[in-house]
């Protein structure tokens, strides 16, 4: 997971501590994305964050958080929001298994703020199939040549 050649740099994480509960959320993505999201989250969610215990810069990803701690994925699963202490055992179960409910006492206000902030700050760019206008230059050239040949 330390692939530095990936777009945005190596995998990184940032922790965000709730100011009202013991909830600790982590954002996991490439270094550039995490760096950008730290500023956005600290700005938009400041009323719910314990700023002294929340990240100000990305940390290298070292295998934690774990996949079963993810509460939300963004941008085609290239960004994950995790919750310390959450264990969604459905991650390892067959498709269709319902997710494990969040534990009681989670700061849902902070989680909602982070969810909204990440969703808006990291949209899926070029996520859909788009229609492109064909280059008509060659077609125009053929039309001119055809018209010139018809004069001969």
Averaged pLDDT for residues 108-122: 93
| Structure confidence at residue 6 as a pLDDT band (50, 70, 90) | low
Model confidence over 53-76: pLDDT tens digits?
Answer: 999 999 988 888 888 999 998 887
Q: Which residue has the tokens 């215990």?
A: 53
Between 133 and 104, name the one with better pLDDT: 104
**Which is nearest to 70 in space by CA: 105, 98, 102, 109?**
102
| Structure confidence at residue 141 as a pLDDT band (50, 70, 90) | low
Average pLDDT across the chain, whole number:
83
Distance from the first to the final alpha carbon of the chain: 67
Q: Do residues 10 and 3 touch, judged by C-beta distance below 8 A? A: yes
**Which is nearest to 27 in space by CA: 64, 68, 52, 76?**
64
**Percentage of the chain with pLDDT > 70?**
76
pLDDT at residue 80, as a whole number: 93
pLDDT at residue 138, as a whole number: 54
Domain boundaries, the chain: 11-151
């Amino acid at each position: 997971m330390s692939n530095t050649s990936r777009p945005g740099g190596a995998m990184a994480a940032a922790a965000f501590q709730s100011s009202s509960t013991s909830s600790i959320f982590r954002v996991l993505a490439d270094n550039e994305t995490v760096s950008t999201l730290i500023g956005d989250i600290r700005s938009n969610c400041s009323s719910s964050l314990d700023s002294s215990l929340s990240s100000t810069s990305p940390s290298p990803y070292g295998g934690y958080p774990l996949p079963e701690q993810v509460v939300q994925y963004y941008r085609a699963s290239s960004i994950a929001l995790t919750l310390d202490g959450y264990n969604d055992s459905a991650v390892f179960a067959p498709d269709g298994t319902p997710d494990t409910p969040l534990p009681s006492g989670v700061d849902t206000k902070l989680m909602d703020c982070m969810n909204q902030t990440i969703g808006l700050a990291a949209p899926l760019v070029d996520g859909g199939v788009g229609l492109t206008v064909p280059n008509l230059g060659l077609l125009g050239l053929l039309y001119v040549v055809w018209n010139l040949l018809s004069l001969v």
